[in-house]
Amino acid sequence: MTGNKKTKIIKNIKIDINKCNGCRACEMICSAFHAAPQYSGNNPARSRIRVIHYPLKDIYVPVYAGEYAEAECMGRDKYVIDGKEYDECAFCRASCPSRDLFKEPDSGLPLKCDMCEDHPDKEPLCVQWCYVDALTYEEREEEVDEEEVKLEDVEIGLESMVDKYGLEQVMDVVARMSQKE
């Protein structure tokens, strides 16, 4: 079955590792923008971008928070950059039970980059605050099935509800709603 096609904007942040100087301004602004209330404080542990650092070679690698992974991976990836081997999970984007990265420190809820969708500017804040242009924003249009777009809207809506009210509360409401049917 072929459904109706719709144009979808794919947002993309390009990361140039060679330009990153490790200033961590991206972490500061991301955590401040997502603080409650907004801009009330900044804490890199709440940021949806983290800068991984290897001091001996002065390499800084910005990593964005991706999907939540319920279980640890069965397989692992190892990166070698300039001859230095990094920890297996160093550049993984997932929030997962095997490490503390990309977890809201108070609640333990997973953090995920939302491309600053609540901000009026098109360009995400971490990109705007990166003064050496290690992060650059690009977008392109792609044709997708209408259903796919709707499903993604539902996912984004659920994620922001979980962000706001917490996973347990959202699950309680869903359980109550399904009992009513």
The residues binding ligand SF4 (CB under 6 A) are 20-26, 30, 48-49, 51, 60, 62, 64, 113-116, 124-126, 129-130, 132, 134-135
Nearer Cβ to ligand SF4 (25/149): 25
Given a contact cutoff of 8 angstroms between Cβ atoms, the answer to whether 166 and 158 are in contact is: no
Which residue type occupies 101? L
CB 15 within 8 A of CB 155: no
Least distance between ligand SF4 and beta carbon 179 (Å): 35
- CB nearer to ligand SF4: give 15 or 170: 15
CA neighbor of 49 nearest in space, from 7, 2, 13: 13
| CB of 109 vs ligand SF4, minimal distance in Å | 15
Pairwise CA distance, residues 49 & 61, whole Å: 10
Please state the closest distance from residue 53 (CB atom) to ligand SF4, in A: 9
Give the number of other Cβ atoms within 10 Å of residue 125's Cβ: 20
Per the structure block, which two tokens stand in for 105?
């420190």
Q: Which residue number, 79 or 137, has a Cβ lying nearer to ligand SF4?
A: 137
Which residue, 96 or 113, is less far from ligand SF4 as judged by CB?
A: 113
**Minimal distance in Å, beta carbon 66 to ligand SF4?**
10
- Asked if residue 95 lies in contact with residue 105, where contact means CB atoms within 8 angstroms, the answer is no
Least separation in angstroms between CB 19 and ligand SF4 = 7
Let me know: does 36 contact 43? Beta carbons within 8 Å. Answer: no
Q: CA nearest 111: which of 16, 28, 44, 13?
A: 44
Q: By C-beta, is 96 or 115 nearer to ligand SF4? A: 115
